[in-house]
Amino acid sequence: MTHRVRVEALAELVTLPPGEARHLRVLRLRPGDLVRVFNRQGRQAEATVERVHDFGALLRLGAEVNATPETPTPVTLAVALLKGDKLADVVRASTELGVARVQLLTTRHADVPDIGAQKLERLRRVAAEASKQSRRAVVPEVLAPIPLKELQAVGEGAGGQGFVAHVGSSARLTELLDWSGSVTLVSGPEGGFSDEEVALLTSRGYHAVTLGRRVLRAETAPLALLGAIAATGV
């Protein structure tokens, strides 16, 4: 896999600060090697290493990469089980909004305790149809439910970023999102997450974020999360 290097802006020649240059040396990258650069807005380009030294590195940028309509890194939606047909609606719209994977969750204030194999198959068909309709090349995976406590850690060491939508939070997803790695969005059941659940997720590196000052329905919140990302233009 091509190494991804974060830059401030996409220009023809980019000078990397010492920290990022050290990263290139650790990866044993040399002049002539190809890397992929990305900025906070999720724009990406091919680049060739021109020089690497102790106090910086120089990259020459090539073509911007946006061949397929996929987000710069995969976005996973981890969503609590919901009643009736609501999950199908969430999977359909999430697929249109660019999700790479939907991980179903069981949570403390669950609306539904579990989901049958048939219903899961139906959700997968919904994802396949929606993917085709939005002219995507990939079909998002829909994964059988796991308990919220089994959601993996994110951030430092673990890599990637995670965001949990929580009523009353004030942090903003679009200000924190930097595409440094894969993105996991977590959205709760109608009864909301318990304080312990939110504390567990934040201890695992997830940022608790707001979706505005109104309380959204459990089937609306995932779309507000993904819509915020889609509206950045990625």
Binding footprint of ligand SAH on the chain (CB under 6 A): 165-167, 169, 187-188, 190-193, 210-212, 214-216, 218, 221
* DSSP element (H, E) containing 174: helix 173-176
Quick one: 210 or 232, whose CB is closer to ligand SAH? 210
Quick one: 152 or 210, whose CB is closer to ligand SAH? 210
DSSP, residue by residue, 105-134: EE-TT-SSS---HHHHHHHHHHHHHHHHHT
Quick one: 61 or 167, whose CB is closer to ligand SAH? 167
How far apart CA 51 and CA 94 sit, in angstroms, is 42
Rounded to whole angstroms, the maximal C-alpha distance in the chain is 59
CB of residue 106 to ligand SAH, shortest distance in Å: 14
Quick one: 18 or 191, whose CB is closer to ligand SAH? 191
Q: Parallel, antiparallel, or unpaired: how do β-strands 56-64 and 44-53 relate?
A: antiparallel
CB of residue 186 to ligand SAH, shortest distance in Å: 7
CB of residue 208 to ligand SAH, shortest distance in Å: 8
How far apart CA 44 and CA 65 sit, in angstroms, is 5
Q: Parallel, antiparallel, or unpaired: how do β-strands 4-6 and 34-38 relate?
A: parallel
CB of residue 205 to ligand SAH, shortest distance in Å: 17
How far apart CA 173 and CA 140 sit, in angstroms, is 22
How far apart CA 228 and CA 222 sit, in angstroms, is 10
Residue for token pair 């595409």: 179
- Of 70, 71, 88, 67, nearest to 79 by C-alpha is 88
CB of residue 171 to ligand SAH, shortest distance in Å: 10
Tell me which residue has its CB nearest to ligand SAH: 188
Quick one: 76 or 187, whose CB is closer to ligand SAH? 187
CB of residue 92 to ligand SAH, shortest distance in Å: 18
Quick one: 65 or 167, whose CB is closer to ligand SAH? 167
Helix (H, G, I), strand (E, B) or coil at 19: helix
